[in-house]
Structure 1
Amino acid sequence: MTLAAFLAIYFVNLAAAISPGPAVLLAVRTSLREGFARGVWLAIGIGLGACVWALAALFGLALLFKIAPALLSVLKVAGAGYLFYLAVKMWRHAPEPLDTRMDETTSARSNLGLVWQGIAAQLANPKPAVFFGTIFLTFIPPDAALWAYGVILFIVFFNDAAWNVIVARIFSLDHARRVYLGLKTFIDRFFGGLLGLLGLKLALS
């Protein structure tokens, strides 16, 4: 795989990790209520959960591509459509305030319990399943070497874990939280535009 291919995977996965969803909201709530350190443990679990979806996509659907090569073209079209959908959704809802309301959870969780909660939040969320089953795979050559899979899994873990660590840092500090919320419209529309461009590239490739 080329550096350009790895960079494309990095940015499309980063955009998916940043897009608001149950895992990000859980990171927001945890850091608001329990502090930064607890949010970091949760972020590690979120990153590991993303790797589970990535592994399932890499080793499960890669076999299907060999059996039915036309499936890759179908997935490209579906992936491009999903990217456009996410782009429009992020752009339209960018000015809206971030809703941090979530159900109550037990306050006696251990650090390991927070890791498991992060994994469970990812596995119960259909968004990464759709992303890794469609968009993610179309950026990976069917003949990618085994070492490349390791690099890709590291990218997935780093993006999801690091972003949610940033979220935990932001929402554990009053001043930083206010600054972030003030820039939310710009940030969401920037990544919405990036998703749209990636969708166009995917559709034309």
Structure 2
Amino acid sequence: MTLAALTAIYFVHLAAAMSPGPAVLLAARTGLRDGFQRGIWLALGIGLGAVIWAAAALFGLALVFKIAPALLTTLKIAGAAYLLWLAYKMWRHADDPMDDEIPDLPRTRSAPRLIWLGISTQLANPKPAVFFGTVFLTFIPPSAPAWAYAAILGIVMFNDAGWNVIVARIFSLEKTRAAYLNLKTVIERCFGGLLALLGLKLALS
């Protein structure tokens, strides 16, 4: 496994991590609503979810999907249902009032809950599994040593978590947050609508 191959994997995966999707959407929303600290916890969960998909691909999940395509279809339907449920919650609570000040992490939105939200959002979308099982694996030779697998999983964690930390930071800035507070209902319903569209796209693709 050469440095050039690892560099190629880094940039190919970074492009995938930066592409708009449910995880990036939730990172932006969390930064807006709940601040940068909560966005970091969510981003860590998103990174861990990506690592799970990458590890599954490295250990043969792509072959399982090829042998049993119905499994991928089932995952798509389940993932779409989960994303639609999140979209419904956003839409339903869009007009709930919100304080200007960001409090400390309450129990209902604790760090473990945010990490789990990030993981579950990633796992609900099987498209990363398709990416890791096709494009991603073409850069990895069958004889790659164990250290290369560890390095690759580290790259996946760094890219997915790091990019979503950046997204959460951008959307947690004071000017962005002030604009959000003035247009909370509209923005929340836009987020919910986009998430619903992503869920429908996943189910129909």
Cα pair distance change 1:4/1:176, threshold 3 Å: farther
The AA in structure 2 aligned to 1:140 is I
Question: What is the identity percentage for the equivalent residue pairs of Structure 1 and Structure 2?
Answer: 71
Counterpart Cα distance in 2 of 1:123 and 1:41: 16
The TM-score normalised by the length of structure 2 is 0.64
| 2: CA distance, partners of 1:32 / 1:53 | 27
Q: 1:50 to 1:156 in 2, by over 3 A?
A: same
Report the Cα distance in structure 1 between the residues aligned to 2:59 and 2:126, rounded to whole angstroms. 19
Gap runs ≥5 in structure 1 = 65-70, 72-100, 178-205
Alignment pair present for 1:30 and 2:15: no
Flag structure 2 segments of 5+ consecutive residues without an equivalent: 67-85, 94-105, 178-205
1:127 maps to a residue whose letter is: K
Q: Is 1:104 matched up with 2:119?
A: no
Q: Distance in 2 between matches of 1:25 and 1:135?
A: 23
Relative to the length of structure 1, the TM-score reads 0.64
Tell me the amino acid that sits aligned with residue 160 of structure 2: D
- 8 A Cα contact 2:23 2:118, kept in partner: yes
In the alignment, is the contact (CA less than 8 A) between 1:46 and 1:115 conserved in 2? yes
9 and 174 in structure 1: CA distance in 2 versus 1, 3 angstrom threshold: same
Partner letter of residue 47 of structure 1?
G
Q: Distance in 2 between matches of 1:143 and 1:176?
A: 48
1:129-152 deviations in Å (ceiling 9; x for gaps): 111111111111111000100000
Question: Counterpart of 2:118?
Answer: 118
Q: Using the alignment, how far apart are the partners of 1:55 and 1:14 within structure 2?
A: 17
Counterpart code for 1:141: P
Alpha-carbon distance in 2 for matches of 1:141, 1:16 = 20
Seen in structure 2, the aligned counterparts of structure 1 residues 124 and 165 have a Cα distance that, compared at 3 Å, is same
Q: Where in structure 1 do 4 or more consecutive aligned residues deviate above 6 Å? A: none
Decide which moves more: 1-10 or 102-111: 102-111
Question: What do you get for the CA RMSD once the two structures are aligned?
Answer: 2.3
Q: What is the distance in 2 between the residues matched to 1:123 and 1:174? A: 31
Q: Residues 134-187 of structure 1: CA distance to partner in whole angstroms, max 9, x if unpaired? A: 11111111110001000000000000000000001000014579xxxxxxxxxx
Look up the match of 2:169.
169
In 2, the alpha carbon distance for the partners of 1:161 and 1:176 equals 21
How many angstroms does 1:126 deviate by? 2.2
Paired amino acid for 2:18: I
Q: Distance in 2 between matches of 1:173 and 1:40?
A: 14
Tell me the matched-pair count.
141
Q: Cα distance, 1:110 vs. partner? A: 1.1
Q: How does 1:19-58 map to 2 (within 5 A)?
A: 19-58=19-58
